[in-house]
Structure formats: structure tokens, C-alpha cells
Chains A and B, each alone.
Chain A
Amino acid sequence: MGRVFMFGDNVDTDQLAPGQYMRGGIEAIAAHCLEMVRPDFAKVVRPGDVIVAGRNFGAGSSREQAAEALKHLGIAGVVARSFAGIFYRNAINLGLPALVAPEIGGIADGDACALDVEAAGLKVGNGEIALEPVPDNLRRLLEDGGLVPHLKKRFAEVRR
């Protein structure tokens, strides 16, 4: 079981991957991920934790370190009312599950939770929140671990 980390609307890519640490590599970026809005985030987050956020998660630039930083910290996935499109693409392509929740009412910060991508559900406490299913061809990307492993598999098949 992971825990829920709640965020509001419009969490942007500068908050996820602060510009001033972009040169330091993913280790440094991840260490400062979301510190602008939650100073201790990178220190307290554990593998399997899930981000639950409001609308337009990942707004801003195309820097994929925004999604990579979360993956690096072991985040099991991001559940949000909606995603900024480029962030959504980057997340899927990096193998970080990103699922849209029509409704996130009733979830509180710190709740124990488990994300089930295939069943498109987020178990929170005793209940379960229904999420929008990930389209088939994108779920295959996620299952392969992201675009690069997916393409590796594909090119390997071609070569065979």
C-alpha cells in the first residue's frame, strides 16, 4: 500500500522539475521535486505512493524530467482531474501511469491507497475511486515500461 499525496490545480513543470536544478541530472531534480509547494516532498515520499491532484497537472514546459522525477522517486502513478497534455504524453512514454479521475472527493492527504492501472481504479481506505481507463495501445506502452522499452521490443522483433 502506498499513501496519497494531495495537490491542487495547475501543478506546473517548474514545480515538478525546478529550472535551477535542471543541470544537476535527475537525482538533483528529483531531490527538489515539488519543494516549492511542499518543501519536504522528496524526503518523505516512498515508492508506491500516489499523487492525487486537481486539474491541469503538469502544466508548463515540455521538460520530461517533470514526469521522470516522480518516477525516480518511486511514485506509483498520478491521478488527477485532468492533465496538461505534454506532461500526460511524457508520463505514459516514460512508463509513469497517469490516470484521469472524474471525481476525487473523499480522498485525503496521507490516506493509504493502491493504484490499479489495468482495472482503472484507486483503492483508498475501504472504498475505490473509478478512473478513466487508459486506451489499449497506451496501456501496452505502460506495460512495457514506457516508449523506449516498447520500441526496443518492437525493433528486436523486426530484427528477428
Chain B
Amino acid sequence: MRRTERLFGKNCPAVLAILWGVTQSHYVLADLPASYLHGNGSKAYPVVSLTWGLLAISIAVTVIVCALLVLGIVARRARTDEIASTPVGRSGGGMPWLVWGTGISTVALFGSLVWTVAVLADINGPPSKPTVTIEVTGQQWWWKARYLSDDASRTITTANEIHIPVGQPIRIKLIGADVIHSFWVPALTGKTDTIPGQTNTMWLEADKPGIYRGPCTEYCGAQHAHMTAFVVADPPDAFKNWWDAQITSASAPTSDDGMRGQGAFVFHCGACHTVRGTEAGGTTGPELTHLMTRQTIAAGTLDNTPSNLAGWISNPQALKPGTTMPAPGLSGREVTDITAYLETLR
């Protein structure tokens, strides 16, 4: 953050600085969940500075050229609109424009190139050894996250919400399951594609707790618009608690409708979804053991509320046309029961 400010004090017109100040304010931050004009974390800061720097150069160049263009037309405009009566001037003259214009442009371009390479070197690898490795799989149209651990019992799978500890570099391995997607968390890190047939790796770090939004950014078909991952940065203790909680299996429902719902869930949904501790063990769809800890369902399509859950399971195609989740053909009773059951998955 300080680097950005330092940079702006030196290089930028006042207008930009004000704009920057506005976008940095907490009000706007809360309002622009996907903006990358600000960032949080050791990978984001140098890139944010570079983005602002290049933006400043770009705006300056545009303003200068447009001013020269308008001034030139105004200052040199012929006295008449009658073209044939305007004499034709001789050749010659004007070459200093090319020399100076191109020369200054070249210097600016090379400066930017050097800065680019410096930033690249800065963010190439994490500042310290990553503490957590997460395998993120992009698939139509949701994100699977597997937390790897040397201790096999601590390896967990979840979906669409990726918790990380604040202040620690995280390694992300990116897997493509079907078509190409792109994993991107604007406030933390730039994009890396998930490409079937190869594993890409990247790293990220958040230095402030918060929920960071990450839309899929490689066009991947019908529901490309509804494929959002959320990176949730927790303080290290909270993160550890979260992970510990994720390891546990689902506890059995106690209410009647919950128990009926579990049966219906296993029957209707279990072929695609896993709830650990039950017979539902499908892996085609997101793992749901701790569904109610997530803020949204269907990869950011809907808030995770009971009514949305009920609507979603009764007719997913209406809410996310084309989704790979078929309409399970549930009766009204089954919908209520399954929703009641899902609400127990905490």
C-alpha cells in the first residue's frame, strides 16, 4: 500500500490521485467486490502499483495527444472551408515531431518494460514457503477445492468457498476437469487458466481478513456468468478451526423431516453429491458435508438461504439454465424434507 502511495505522490496528476483515493476508501471497497485497482497481499501490491502506473502513463499520453490534436486543428485551421482555394503547402518541416514524439514514447515504453520485468521478478514466487496447498479444479460451472495434507485424514474437499489463513502464502494447483476455465481473485492475484491435461500452479496471499470474490474468466459455456469462487481469508486460528470442522463427518439429523430428508437426499442426490457420514458419495457435483458454512449456492448464483435452497433443488434449470444439475423431479414434500436436511449440514 505504501508503495502505491509513494508512486502516486510522484507520478500522477491530481485528478488521478483523487480518483485513487476514492477507490481506496472503504466505502468503495465494499462496493466494488471484484475491482483490481486495489489489492490485499504481497502479490497484489506490486501489481496494483504497476497497474496504476501504466494507467497514469496511458491517461497522460491520451490527454497530451488529444490536446495536441485539438489545438493543432484549432490553431492551424484554414480560413475557408473551400478546399480548392486553400493553397497547397510545400513538403518539409514536421520531422522534429516524429523524432521527439517517437523518442519520448520509446523512453516511456522501455521504462514501463523495465518496471514490468521488476514486478514480474517480485511476484514470481512466494516470499516464504507456502503453508497450505490447495488443489482447485474448474468445472462446468463450479469450483472444487481439495486441501492437501501429508496427513491423509486431514485432506478435505469442499466447493466454491476457499478458506485461507491471513498473512500466509498459499500454493494453488489448478486442474481443468472439462473445458478451460480461469481462476482469478482480483484483489489477491491475477488469472491463471485451469486447462484440462495440465496442472498449473500459482500462489496468493491475503494480508487482511475478508471475503474475496473470484469470477471465472475464461469463457466456458452456458453458465460462465455464474461460476464464482470466494476466497475467505480468516485469521490463522479461525482458519485452523474451520479446517478442523471440515474434517468431521456430517452429524445425523434429529428432526423427523430432517431424517426423511436424508433418505430422500441419498436416494435423489447421492449419485452426484457427497455428504460424509452418509451413503451419498457421488463426486460429480460439489461436496455438501458442510454446506451450511457457505455463503452462496450454485457457485455464487444464489445466497445460501433455506428458500433459495428449496427453489434450487426443485428446479435448478430455472435458476441457472444449462447447469449440469438435472431437475431431480421432487415432490413438494421431498423438497421441504431435503431442505430441512440440508440445513443440518453445518
Chains A and B belong together in one complex: no
Taking Cβ atoms with an 8 Å cutoff, the residues of B that contact A are none
